[in-house]
Structures are given as C-alpha cells and as structure tokens.
Homo-oligomer: A and B are copies of this chain.
Amino acid sequence: MKDIQNLRDDRRINIRKVGVRRISYPVTVLDKARRIQKTVATVNMYVNLPHRFKGTHMSRFIEILNRFHGEINLKSFHRILQEMKDRLNAEAAHMEIQFPYFLQRGQSPIGTERIECRMHGTLQETDDLVMEITVPVFSPTAVSRPGVLPGSLGRWGTVRVSVRFNRFIWIEDLIGLVEQGITADSDRPGSVEAMTRNLGRVIASDPAISWFNVVVENLAAGYATFASLEGGGRPGIEGKGKSARS
C-alpha cells in the first residue's frame, strides 16, 4: 500500500503517456523494386510527459503528422518524433505505424503478396526503431497429390519477426531472410520450435541486424502452438552507440 502512497496527493497524479491512436492514413513507403509504394497505415502517436497536459494540445499530434504528407521512411520517422518531443515539451516521443506491404513476385498465385509491417520508433535521448513483419506460412505443396492445387493444403501458421538494425535494411530483404529461415533444411514445416531455431540462425547471421525477436505460431485443431526466441542487444539503451537511423 505504501507503494502508491505518494499518488494519493492529487497534485502528483501525473499522466504518463498521452496521445492519439488508430489514425487511418494513406502513406507512401519505400519499395526496393519500384522505389515507392502507396498503402494505407494505422498510426499511433504519443509522448511521455512529466507534467500536466492540456487537452487542447491533442491536435498538435495530427498537425505534425499532416506536415509530412504520409511519406514514411527512416528520416521522416525521426523528424516526426523530434517535432513531437519539441512541440509537446516531452521526455520521450513514440510513433507506431502499421501497414500492409505488397511484395511483387512472379511465383505468387496473385502476382503480389501482402505482408503486414509495423514500425515502432521512440525518441528519448537516443533514437530507437523496431521494424516488424508478419508473414503467413502455408502448408507446403511438396506432399500434394496430383490434381491438388499449389497452396491448397491450407495455412500452417504465422511468423512474426521484429528487428533493430545498425544500417538501413529493405522490407524486401527482411522478408527474404524470413523465407530463407522458413525453408531452411526442412522440406515442409515440422514444428514451431524447429522453425523458430532456423529463423534465429538465419537472422542472426545478417550483420545489419543488431537485435531480433522471432515468434512462430502453428494453427492446430482448437489451439495454436507457438515458440519465440530473442537475440542481440538493444542499441541506444545498452550503450552500444548504434542508433537505428545511423
């Protein structure tokens, strides 16, 4: 009970985080093959405040977002966070942005493949940026009988990979690593544990990546099994001096 004694003094009940969430916003993101790609994002923006906040400041988040016209890249990400921190006089600024990314490729049945992407950036004393992709995994066709369509054995599960990086990495290249990990020494998906280890091995071997988290989920009958694995340090916090945007 002593833990929160000090909160009982009204003046010290401070708001920790304040912001706007679930803004649906058309954005332009970088595309390795076609330079840019237009898609639709969901945006969350918030700050940590040491002091009382006036509700009328809420519109500033949107003003800052609008100034960048939906152009999302590492540079604009940093500048939006910097403006949030400055204009709202905050200790830390956060932005989360989530969007479907469409990967062009011949071998996909529909010519294009939807990958869920998420970027979560924080600016406190240093920058921190996490990029995350979620890739559906389908049951392999290797075992299919004649007359059974490719991909028609259903959905095996999902791979979600989050990374911090010490130099720029294309979404396509991160997707490439994930696919390498999925297919590594396994003609078809066996277990969440094996796939998690394979993904960890492949991702850890990329020198651009300084930290990663892998979650593999398999849709079984009545439940899902999952396994997760984390590797690497966190730049900007453990003092390794490598910021996400350097």
Query: Which residues of A are interface residues toward B (Cβ below 8 A)?
Result: 1, 3-4, 7-8, 10, 13-26, 37-40, 46, 52-53, 55-56, 58-59, 62, 65-66, 100, 102, 108-114, 136-139, 143, 145, 147-157, 166, 189-194, 196-197, 200-201, 204-205, 207, 209-212, 217-233, 240
Contacts and interface: CB of A to CB of B under 8 A. Distances in A.
A10 B112 CA distance: 34
Contact of A19 (B205, B210, B225, B230): B225
The 4 A-B pairs at the shortest CB distance, nearest first, are namely A154-B156, A3-B233, A4-B232, A3-B232
Contacts of A207: 1
A23 to B, nearest CB: 4
A17 B193 CA distance: 10
Max chain B C-beta neighbours (<10 A), residue from A113, A149, A225, A229: A225
B109 A62 contact: yes
Nearest to A59: B109
Given A153-B139, A157-B154, A193-B18, A220 B109 contact: yes
Given A109-B221, A139-B156, 8 more contacts: A4-B212, A21-B226, A22-B223, A58-B149, A139-B153, A148-B191, A152-B191, A153-B189
A151 B201 CA distance: 26
Given A152-B225, A226-B19, A211 B3 contact: yes
Chain copies in complex: 4
A47 to B, nearest CB: 11
A153 B191 CA distance: 9
Nearest to A22: B224
B38 A205 contact: no
A12 B13 CA distance: 45
17 contacts: A3-B240, A16-B229, A16-B230, A17-B228, A19-B226, A19-B227, A23-B222, A26-B112, A40-B100, A53-B227, A55-B190, A110-B222, A113-B222, A138-B220, A150-B221, A152-B191, A152-B225
A26 B102 contact: yes
A10 B197 CA distance: 8
A130 to B, nearest CB: 14
Given A40-B39, A55-B192, A204 B13 contact: yes
